[in-house]
Amino acid sequence: MPSHPNACFRLRAVCVFARFALFVALLVPLAAAAAAADLRALAPEAARLQLAALRAEVAHHDTLYHQKAAPEISDYDYDQLKLRLRALEAAQPEIAKATPAVPEVGDDRSGLFQTYRHRERMMSLDKTYSEADLRAFHARLAKLLGRDDLTYTVEPKFDGFAVSVTYERGKLVRAVTRGNGVEGDDITANALLLRGLPRTLRESAEDGTANAIPETMELRGEIFVSFTEFERINAEREAAGEIKFANPRNLATGTIRQRDAAEVGRRNLEIVFYGIGACVPATAQPSTQRGLHESIRRWGLPGIARTWTARGVGELWAAMQELARARGDFAFPTDGAVAKLDAVALQREVGATEHAPRWAMAYKFAPARAETQVRAIAVQVGRTGVLTPVAEFAPVELAGSTVARASLHNREEVARRDIRVGDFVYVEKAGEIIPAVVGVNVARRPAGAQAFAFPEACPVCRTAVVSRAGEVAVRCPNAACPAQLRRRLEHFASREAVAIDGLGPAMVEALVEKGWVKEAPDLYRLRRADLLTLGKDVGKSTDRLLAAIEASKRAELWRFIYGLGIPQVGAVAAKEAARRYGSLAALAAAGSGEAVAASAASDSAGRAIAAYFLEVRNRATIASLIAAGVRPTAPMAVATGSRLAGKVFVLTGALPSLSRAQAAEKIVAAGGKVATSVSRNTHYVIAGADPGAKLEQARTFGVSILDEAALLRMLQDEEP
């Protein structure tokens, strides 16, 4: 890096230019020939400055992406930034050699775990968004091997966290992250909590024939979280007043690095295997990629349910397009397709570069992206007082839906991106799920557009906002803030909590505005005479609302715990807490000195509950609920002798009479378990209308497929 002040100033300017170029100049892949000519024509000093700036930028985003699971830019822009750097290095090789390089494989070592050296280097993949690059990839291989009819295996590219799992004599001994390709973090303890990861490989196939298991092998795979689980966890975090995960990959990456094993286990991470590193003896390695997938299944490991075979570049491109169309039915996140030479002998013949095998390439799907104009930046006040800026923009179509709003997350994010009212912004669906603003087209910024001033006072109650140490969130500290109260009441009355029908946002707004309800217990003191004054012809709706409020007094205990909105306590943790405490009174006592001391050595949910009930106001809320006649239903004992006990179920499609939540509750009450995706550990898939990819996965794994009627017979302890 240059030390002269003018050089440093110029470097900073180039860094700014590089970021701007991400969102303007690099929205489509570079035209290779013209781009290379432009880069070769750069004067040495300009090339040196651009190279230094791009390397600094890539290193910055590598750290955010691989180590902190907190990327600032979209995957597409991150990839394009690295492609620009590699193109400049290729065009200016002498200057590239004279300046510090950025490692080709991003380093994911966190410093939180012991590290372990891979037996065989764990490489990355060359990536492209271009059909032309994919055809060039085939042409290079055809030239090297002297034949054009090459056979490929095409696999979905899982969007998760890369891992290497070592088995010795069929026993799992270690799980290690990619790290820097040479060594990674030893995450074995957390990996053992992954769904469907066997500690011992299956020695014989289902037909009784012996499985050939190498003495030692490193299996390469991906840790991921299904869309269903991602949505469940984000719903719980939103309900608990916590910041939601931006996409499934960030959730998977952040979870597998947790030091709290209970939290790792609760989040239902999964793993899939698709490659092999070191294999001893080498002759035990399957001779084809298709053979490896078959071996993975025979060994009882979670593998890829569907792959494609292609001969020649025409079939290869067709397979890529077919996979792209099919990914909408996948239960897991994908961001592309991977082409691999099928024959291992040919893989060895063409070899690898310093960072990637020559025999494989990832074709990444360009994200659905649109440009639109920001009409306003609203600031919402959440249930826990967190102020969240939200961009409101002209509606645009993205991935089959119309979006007009996107969270800007927090004050720092707005300032970092410098998003202003009137700006034209690029919007994507992060992980194909959540709309996200990924950049600003500064070239179209209206004259006079002012930087957004984050409010210093709550926009609802005008209380001065505060920031807690170590948090980026800005909060309204006034628990009596009408906005917070409305969100708390809506959450408490929601279907996921105590389920008070008729207590929607409009009714909550009216009750708060009238001053009749200041906390949840006040709902149980509402008077019919007061409610009748809210408008004409409200008699029947008032009676229905009062009946629903009365019925909610006997809701299950876990629903009250969840409805209280205790930070870090979602539905799953609330059910565990209900079994642990058994009553509202015992729950409130969790704030006593003894209980706090006991919880300090317990799980994170126990600690959160103890901390919550240390506050007198929260204990008073429980006392008021009890005084108002609330008597929650005690947790049901889990059945152990039914047909469902210990069995794993997966639900897919729309059932005739039960919602998925109702079916899941019945299964769990009968001693079964409900999973979000199909694996060899699944016992039954319950399929309704439009079941999607899970039905095909069930057939692939030989899992029994039942309908709702068969499930109901099992629940009555009859043959399905």
461 part of a folded domain: no
431 and 382 in one domain?
Answer: yes
CA-nearest of 82, 27, 129, 14 to 424 is 27
- Residue with the bigger pLDDT between 19 and 534: it is 534
The CATH number of residue 614's host domain is: 1.10.150.20
What b/e readout covers 357-368, taking b as 16+ CB neighbours within 10 angstroms?
Answer: bbbbbbbbbebb
Say if residue 37's pLDDT is above 60.
no
453 part of a folded domain: no
Q: Which residues are catalytic?
A: 157
Give the pLDDT mean for 329-353. 93
Last residue of a domain, one of 333, 364, 395: 364
Query: Roughly what angle, to the nearest 10 degrees, separates helices 604-612 and 593-600?
Result: 160
Residue 515 makes CB contacts below 8 A (sequence gap 6+) with: none
Q: Out of 180-194, 199-213, 380-394, 449-463, pick the least confident.
A: 199-213
Q: State pLDDT tens for residues 413-434.
A: 899 889 999 999 999 876 567 7
* Contact between 190 and 196 (Cβ < 8 Å): no
* Contact between 221 and 271 (Cβ < 8 Å): yes
403 and 291 in one domain?
Answer: no
- Residue with the bigger pLDDT between 289 and 659: it is 289
Q: State pLDDT tens for residues 87-106.
A: 777 777 777 676 666 555 56
Q: What integer pLDDT is reported at residue 32 of this predicted model?
A: 40
Say if residue 679's pLDDT is above 70.
yes
Q: What integer pLDDT is reported at residue 281 of this predicted model?
A: 95
The CATH number of residue 355's host domain is: 3.30.470.30
225 and 285 in one domain?
Answer: yes
Tokens of 258: 């947790």
252 and 156 in one domain?
Answer: yes
The Cβ of residue 203 has, within 10 Å, a number of other Cβ atoms equal to 13
pLDDT grade for 239, boundaries at 50, 70 and 90: low
Q: What integer pLDDT is reported at residue 44 of this predicted model?
A: 74
298 and 168 in one domain?
Answer: yes
Give the number of domains in the chain: 5
Q: State pLDDT tens for residues 70-83.
A: 666 666 676 777 77
Give the pLDDT mean for 703-720. 85
Q: What integer pLDDT is reported at residue 91 of this predicted model?
A: 77
Q: Chain-centre distance of CA 234, in angstroms? A: 9
Tokens of 90: 């290729």
Sign of the alpha-carbon torsion through 60, 64, 65, 66: positive
Cα(427)–Cα(424) distance, rounded to whole angstroms? Answer: 10
Q: What percent of the chain has pLDDT over 70?
A: 85
The CATH number of residue 682's host domain is: 3.40.50.10190
| Bond from prior residue into 281 cis (ω within 30 degrees of 0) | yes
Last residue of a domain, one of 444, 468, 503: 444
Say if residue 169's pLDDT is above 50.
yes
618 part of a folded domain: yes
41 and 123 in one domain?
Answer: no
Phi and psi for 681 in degrees, rounded to 5?
-85, -5
460 part of a folded domain: no
Mean pLDDT of the chain: 83
pLDDT grade for 328, boundaries at 50, 70 and 90: confident
Q: What integer pLDDT is reported at residue 589 of this predicted model?
A: 85
Give the pLDDT mean for 689-700. 77
- Residue with the bigger pLDDT between 646 and 221: it is 221
Cα(151)–Cα(432) distance, rounded to whole angstroms? Answer: 31
Q: What integer pLDDT is reported at residue 247 of this predicted model?
A: 83
Say if residue 22's pLDDT is above 50.
no
616 and 496 in one domain?
Answer: yes
Give the pLDDT mean for 576-605. 69
Say if residue 561's pLDDT is above 90.
yes
Q: What integer pLDDT is reported at residue 662 of this predicted model?
A: 80
Last residue of a domain, one of 385, 415, 444: 444
Q: What integer pLDDT is reported at residue 601 of this predicted model?
A: 41
Q: What integer pLDDT is reported at residue 499 of this predicted model?
A: 92
Q: Which domain holds residue 155?
A: 115-364
373 and 358 in one domain?
Answer: no
The Cβ of residue 326 has, within 10 Å, a number of other Cβ atoms equal to 16
pLDDT grade for 68, boundaries at 50, 70 and 90: low
The CATH number of residue 397's host domain is: 2.40.50.140
Phi and psi for 272 in degrees, rounded to 5?
-135, 145
638 part of a folded domain: no
Tokens of 64: 């955010």
Q: SS3 for 388?
A: strand
523 and 410 in one domain?
Answer: no
Q: What integer pLDDT is reported at residue 16 of this predicted model?
A: 38
Q: What integer pLDDT is reported at residue 101 of this predicted model?
A: 61
459 part of a folded domain: no
192 and 63 in one domain?
Answer: no
Q: What integer pLDDT is reported at residue 20 of this predicted model?
A: 37
Q: What integer pLDDT is reported at residue 600 of this predicted model?
A: 43
Phi and psi for 129 in degrees, rounded to 5?
-110, 10
Q: SS3 for 3?
A: coil
- Residue with the bigger pLDDT between 599 and 86: it is 86
374 part of a folded domain: yes
296 and 253 in one domain?
Answer: yes
Tokens of 36: 């290379």
Q: What integer pLDDT is reported at residue 427 of this predicted model?
A: 92
Q: SS3 for 438?
A: strand
Q: What integer pLDDT is reported at residue 621 of this predicted model?
A: 93
* Contact between 485 and 518 (Cβ < 8 Å): yes
Q: What integer pLDDT is reported at residue 35 of this predicted model?
A: 46
80 part of a folded domain: yes
296 and 149 in one domain?
Answer: yes
| pTM for the predicted model, two decimal places | 0.63
Give the pLDDT mean for 162-175. 95
Give the pLDDT mean for 463-490. 91
Say if residue 19's pLDDT is above 60.
no
- Residue with the bigger pLDDT between 622 and 717: it is 622
Q: State pLDDT tens for residues 173-219.
A: 999 999 988 999 999 988 988 878 999 998 876 666 778 899 999 99
